[in-house]
Chain A
């Protein structure tokens, strides 16, 4: 008797859970869905105001995508974004792996303070520093170049990457490196042969974080770069695809979706690493 009522209440809870999930899934997925269908609609359909706008009414078209690739700077933006992202992720990862190893394993004077300092820098938002950085980038002669972003993006990625790597490296048992030291391994050999392979999930999580920061960055490129040849995807899509007073919605949506696709694809495959890195990073570290 008690069993059946418990099972029944569990079934109700599950039903309620699904209702709730469906409602929120609509809320979360409606904007990307609407972007997607808009990108396949003809300009005539968008401006005609006939039919239900929530679906594609007339024949879908790839016009906006071909137009985007042939008649705009979109491919230049894409190339710039890839260059900036690859370089700043590489710099960030080398710096954070070295620093993370040092701070986790080779305790030295001031290393605890430094680890705390790294965590605090992670909390510094872009909006606090973009104005002085605008001047600094000017001194360095990097204004209006994509290299300005390669210089500043590591400041956003390195603190958090170092922080989660400190956590991962510290969780590796001490016996392992003691054994390696006795075998005559140097610190660099130990890092490459033991720490990096064992902490791979953490390194993947940190890389995804650095990738996201560089790919999605908006404020810095908006402040530092104004010519189309040097622009990256986020700013390029927002500023150059909006033309004149009649908005070019189909083109804008196709650009936004293509520009957002790489991070979405990467997350689809590596989400679990990222989540575990994020949750351990923010809660243990």
Chain B
């Protein structure tokens, strides 16, 4: 959407004679038909496998378990009465908020730290820091699962040799929540690092020179130059990551399967259990639909920020 509005071929043609106009009309018509044909595959894919399933999901959520009868909002009413549902709501919010805050902080610090290095070194360090984000999360989480193993693995060995302590990483609810969040922070921080580093590099250097001349210290430069210039990217990245984190599936599924006793379940993993494993497709659909309002609000703000950014540039 960066392009400057409409490209008007009649302006280029410029001759208002009859012949010209009809040829131009034909050209325009052919052009818009072609344009439509070119976007058609995209429209078919999105309409058939995104928009239709979404509405179908709303319909599904209003059926009974065997999908034979329309029950209106009964599934939602049923969920509202279940403690597990509210626990999943709280856990999803806790998971998304705490993970995003830490990812954003780590990404911010690392972006600054890498940015002060000499150019040649920057690539090397950035590359190393990106490894967690490059591995498919379902697979890297297997590595974490092994690290968290209570008897044979590294974490408890370190804790026992250094402190004589022993932690039941994945079987005690508090620690299990912590473990799941830690893996998400590990996996997601590099994304913030990349985005923030790109933002830092896009700040015009003369702004810092001007700040230097005005005698600003490092902190003042950060608050008055860097942050205002990065504000938009920070907003977009954070909102985007909140969506992705909130809708996370892989990490929890591999690490704890939502256990112990649903204490690490998120919307995604719980609806998978109910809908696919438990065979109650309508109830599973209702659970995952609960994500929609939250995602819609976040998407609205992302779009607003992206628009603001494009008009700024």
Residues on A with C-beta less than 8 A from B53 are 129, 132-133, 136
Indicate if B288 sits at the interface (CB-CB under 8 A). Answer: yes
| Complex: A187 Cα to B237 Cα, angstroms | 36
Taking A31-B132, A136-B49 as contacts, is the C-beta distance between A285 and B42 under 8 angstroms? Answer: no
Residues on B with C-beta less than 8 A from A202 are none
Q: Is the CB of B310 within 8 A of A284?
A: yes
Residues on A with C-beta less than 8 A from B56 are 132, 135-136
Indicate if B79 sits at the interface (CB-CB under 8 A). Answer: no
Q: Is the CB of B138 within 8 A of A234?
A: yes
Residues on A with C-beta less than 8 A from B146 are 34-35, 38, 247, 249, 252-253
Taking A115-B1, A167-B2, A256-B142 as contacts, is the C-beta distance between A284 and B313 under 8 angstroms? Answer: yes
Q: Would you list which residues of chain A between 218 and 235 have a CB under 8 Å from chain B?
A: 218-219, 222-223, 233-235
| Complex: A271 Cα to B281 Cα, angstroms | 40
Give per-residue flags for B96-108: 1 if the beta carbon is below 8 A from chain A beta carbons, else 0: 0000000000100
| Complex: A49 Cα to B152 Cα, angstroms | 6
Q: Which residue of B lies closest to A116 (CB)?
A: B303
Give per-residue flags for A83-106: 1 if the beta carbon is below 8 A from chain B beta carbons, else 0: 000000000001110110111111
CB distance from B49 to the nearest CB of A (A): 4
Q: Which residue of A lies closest to B185 (CB)?
A: A27
| Besides the known contacts A131-B288, A162-B42, 5 further A-B residue pairs in the complex with CB atoms under 8 A apart | A124-B50, A128-B54, A131-B57, A131-B285, A218-B136
Residues of B within 8 A of A (CB): 1-3, 5-7, 12, 31-32, 34-36, 38-39, 41-43, 45-46, 49-50, 52-54, 56-57, 60, 106, 109-110, 113-114, 116-117, 125, 127-132, 134-140, 142-144, 146-147, 149, 151-154, 157-158, 186, 189-190, 194-195, 198-199, 232-233, 236-237, 240, 243-244, 246-250, 253-254, 267-268, 271-272, 275-276, 281, 284-285, 288-289, 291-292, 295, 298-299, 302-303, 306, 309-310, 313
